[in-house]
Structure 1
Amino acid sequence: MSTFDEVFERIKMATNTRTQVELAEVLDIRQSSISDAKRRNSVPSDWYMKLFEKFGLNPDWLKMGSGPMYLRTEQGYQPVDGPAAGQVFEDPAKYGDPDAKSTVVTVYAMHDDQAAEEELPHKSLSKLSVPQSFAGAAMQVFRVDATSMEPLIAKGAFVCLDTQQKSIISGELYGVFIPYEGIAIRRVFLDAQNQRFILRSENPALPEQYLPLGKHHSSIVGRVSWVLQKL
């Protein structure tokens, strides 16, 4: 049986990683787990399973350096010898990138008939898988159910609001709670002369709405962070 260091070197070569940080991202574990395994001089069995599931790597080759390097390729399940030194079929390190990992978020309704007039509607509609970098504790995803922001944002689009971004930057898009309507996406402009904010939709047929300066902190839900829609 090979030592931890020997197996570790084969794993790094096969995954095209150079550091414990990069390998931890590929294996979706904490870096400290690698240090613990090195101290015990033992590679956890779940590492082998993850490497097989992600890249088709042969556990026996990883453990002992014998047999085919790959048991599964893009062509299916078949033993394949490893490529020349320093080469792999693809760059596995990219799977550690936050944009390559997905997470499931809750999608909320922008309007909820069950909510009180002074409450934000938070009726759960569905789930959506998004890149990890697109999610976070402060991010809330809503399903657009109106045409007021067309053609920029279509009805049916998914809109993410960053609820930590409530400071107004004139001309940017925000989710705004409007009594009797729920949450609406609007382009917000400062009208300092009249001590108010102007709320504009992209649809020119709809009238402007206004928000008093002192009330914007409680009415602004968050700044639009991203939009997912069909073109």
Structure 2
Amino acid sequence: MDKWEYTAQMAWQAILSRVQTMKSEGKTLQQIADIIGVKNRSLIGEWLNGNREAANAPFSNLMSYLERLGLDYQDFFPARAPEIRRVSSHAPTEKVQGKNLQELSVYDVAGAGPAIDITELTPLFSVYAPPSYLRQADFAILVDGHSMEPLIPHRSVVGVKKDAPFLANELYAARIPYEGMVIKRVGVDRQKNEFVFKSENPNKESYPDFRLGIAEAEQIIVGRVVWVMWGY
């Protein structure tokens, strides 16, 4: 997938997410079509059923859909030099550049559905990073949301290490059945024998912490987050 195909795919994912939200809020297909500027409401139904993707539409149409949905099209264009850093304290930020960059698959596993293994999914796209970073991660996940800001920006990519030893208060990716993938800082309440999943965003009303029993939580933790990349 080249950078322009990637841009179109990312735009489509954002458009579909907004369409799904509007449908869940009770808007009709015609209302959604009117908002986006699509003449045929049946096209919206095909998007929702997975029979057709707007990513295959003319590029100008995609940009128009984004604008009508209040999304900034510039957010979907590739930056000249992505940045990457480890999630450990005081880790420096580095530019992703040079001739020895290596490829790593990125999965977009947000959204409803049963808990499944990452190996059962098809990669959404790939990113390139220095070997020292790729050796730490088995795969990468696209972060869609603001719950971990400012530490992890919306639509950044995080590297995840499977089967990493558990360390309290580190960052982990977890698959919540019928809710989707989340990235959270995971603490331990030993008195209650629970894991505490915490957002970095200080707005706790919008991004509240939640708890799961340790035995239950261990079944859904996918791996430890070891680095974050943005501007790719």
After superposition, what is the alpha-carbon deviation per residue over 1:99-156, rounded to whole angstroms, capped at 9, x for unaligned? 862111111103255xx41314634211111112222495110110111111111111
CA distance in 2, matches of 1:228, 1:145: 13
Give 5+ residue unaligned stretches, structure 2: 1-97
Deviation at 1:196, TM superposition (A): 0.5
Tell me how far 1:221 sits from its aligned partner.
Answer: 0.8
* 1:172 alignment partner, one of 164, 167, 170: 170
SS at match of 2:149: coil
Q: What is the distance in 2 between the residues matched to 1:180 and 1:222?
A: 19
User: Unpaired segments of 5 or more residues in structure 1?
Assistant: 1-98
Aligned length: 129
Equivalent in the alignment of 1:73: none
Per-residue CA deviation, residues 145-200 of structure 1 (Å, 9 max, x unaligned), is 111111111111010011131x3322111111111222211011100111100001
Give the CA RMSD over aligned residues: 2.1
Measure, in 1, the Cα distance between the counterparts of 2:181 and 2:218. Answer: 14
Q: Deviations over 1:16-51 (max 9, x none)?
A: xxxxxxxxxxxxxxxxxxxxxxxxxxxxxxxxxxxx
Identity of aligned residues (%): 32
Aligned to 2:230: 229
Q: Give the Cα separation in 2 of the matches to 1:104 and 1:152.
A: 24
Tell me: higher relative CO, structure 1 or 2? Use CA pairs within 8 A at least 6 residues apart: 2
The question of whether the paired residues in 1 share the 8 Å contact of 2:172 and 2:185 is answered with yes
Corresponding residue for residue 115 of structure 2: 118
> Equivalences for 1:122-201 in 2 at 5 Å?
122-136=121-135, 139-165=138-164, 167-201=165-199
Q: Which amino acid aligns with 1:139?
A: D
| SS of corresponding position for 1:217 | helix
Bigger Rg, structure 1 or 2: 1
Give the Cα–Cα distance (whole angstroms) in 2 for the partners of residues 182 and 123 of structure 1: 16
SS at match of 1:118: coil
CA distance in structure 1 between the aligned counterparts of 2:169 and 2:137, rounded to whole angstroms: 22
Which structure 2 residues correspond to residues 34-49 of structure 1 after superposition, within 5 A? none
Q: TM-score, normalised by structure 1?
A: 0.51
